[in-house]
Amino acid sequence: MANYEVTIEALSPIHIGGAQGRLTLLDFWQDENCVYLVSENKLAEILSRLDKIDDFVNFVKKGQHITLDDYLKQINIKGKTSHEIVSRRIKKGEPEICSNIMPFITDGASGEPYLPASSVKGALREAMLYWVAKDSRELSEVKTKIKEMAAKRGRKDKNIGGKLDDTLRAQLPNDRNRKTPHGDWLRALRLTDAYALQGDFTEIQAVRIVSLNGDAGYHYGAKGTKLFVEVIRSGVKLKCRLTCDEESCGFLAALCGQSPPFKLDKWLEFSHKKCKDVLTAEKEFFRQAGLQGLVEELERIESLGANIRLGWGAGLLSSSLVLRLSKEERINLRDCYFKSYNHLLFPKSRKVAVIKDKPLHTFGWAKITVN
């Protein structure tokens, strides 16, 4: 069993959401430089102390375009008292009025943002699956199903890729010819949550969805929606620990009489190779969009050794096996499960961070270093 110190460096903004989801203007207040997330318990305490609970409820019932900012000003408690209800302060990347907030997941004990081990291992798992399933029977079956559905235009298979995970699982003796999570080879790869080496390492960035035009260029999709997302800034480093349990792999191999489909110590190599494929596809997308600045940013990220892509905004290419399908198979898959459109590229949209409405960054790129 080998234990390693692992450093994860953000090469572009990273966002991983928590249970809160998207917050509205009644969940925070803001000034030019920061957003202040509100503790519901502390707010309730102060409103109760001021005998304003019913007053606040009536204010909320007024309907649209109401904000916590407005209410705090209305009852004249902006200033010191308003800071008493703050659970967390987040800096703004740009001095822009935020109409919503998607906060980063936070640690239940410290209240600070962190990278969950499940998110990191999930990204590594996708990379391992991307290579192990490359020439597998399971992937061939998926391609056959896509072809059949495209020809019939009939009922969709709701679990078309369900057996792909079997390529990362052993067949245990008592599982009656089924492969289950109990036989997962990657149980031998264990990670802890990752925490930043510095404080105050997140900020709010504005996000839009870039969609390709039919001929050339791009437009902002999703009806021009702008999101405001808390991200780990590029350049921030986080630390975690990794255990590579070769003995556990050997025990599983002896139990089921099979060999693992990969060498456990190649996990980072697999992830790096997938990142290179995704980077190539992403650069082609932004070339077609006419966004040369993002192409150059991705070239810089590649030169820095990006070997994993994490979290929200990483996109379908990073979180699936879509790049293992031909262009025709991708289009057929899209037409079966998604809205059909007259474009030969799928997917045709990406989330990007914008400054003054100009696309400047893509999401989720990082570099893992093992010490």
pLDDT band at 365 (very low <50, low <70, confident <90, very high): very high
Q: In this model, does residue 267 exceed pLDDT 70?
A: yes
Name, in order, each residue with C-beta under 8 angstroms of 162's C-beta and a sequence gap of 6 or more: none
Quote helix, strand, coil % in the chain, to nearest 5: 40, 25, 35
Backbone angles phi, psi at 360, to 5 degrees: -125, -25
What is the model's pLDDT at position 327? Answer: 87
Q: From 129, 105, 130, select the one nearest 117 (Cα to Cα).
A: 105
Residue 316: HSE in the Cβ half-sphere, 13 Å Cα cutoff: 14
Give the model confidence (pLDDT) of 75-133 as tens digits. 887 666 667 889 899 999 998 899 999 999 999 888 899 999 999 999 999 999 999 99
Q: Quote the radius of gyration of the chain (alpha carbons, Å).
A: 24
Backbone angles phi, psi at 314, to 5 degrees: -70, -25
How much is the average pLDDT of 155-177? 79
Q: In this model, does residue 256 exceed pLDDT 70?
A: yes
pLDDT band at 344 (very low <50, low <70, confident <90, very high): low
How much is the average pLDDT of 6-23? 91
The mean of the pLDDT values for the chain is 88
Q: Would you give the DSSP letter of residue 225?
A: -
Backbone angles phi, psi at 54, to 5 degrees: -65, -35
What is the model's pLDDT at position 331? Answer: 87
What is the model's pLDDT at position 176? Answer: 65
How far apart are alpha carbons 335 and 150 in whole angstroms? 8
pLDDT band at 154 (very low <50, low <70, confident <90, very high): low
Give the model confidence (pLDDT) of 211-223 as tens digits. 988 777 898 886 7
What is the model's pLDDT at position 343? Answer: 63
Q: From 78, 104, 84, 92, select the one nearest 18 (Cα to Cα).
A: 104
How far apart are alpha carbons 6 and 307 in whole angstroms? 13
The bridge status of strand 2-10 relative to strand 365-370 is antiparallel
How much is the average pLDDT of 338-364? 85
Instruction: State which H helix or E strand residue 287 sits in.
Output: helix 267-289
How far apart are alpha carbons 212 and 337 in whole angstroms? 19
Q: Do 46 and 84 touch, CB atoms closer than 8 A?
A: yes
Name the residue with tokens 């990278």. Answer: 115
Q: What percent of the chain has pLDDT over 90?
A: 49
pLDDT band at 340 (very low <50, low <70, confident <90, very high): low
More confident residue, 63 or 297: 297
pLDDT band at 224 (very low <50, low <70, confident <90, very high): confident
Most confident of 14-18, 249-253, 329-333: 14-18
On whether the pTM is more than 0.75, the answer is yes
What is the model's pLDDT at position 78? Answer: 66
What is the model's pLDDT at position 246? Answer: 85
What is the model's pLDDT at position 79? Answer: 66
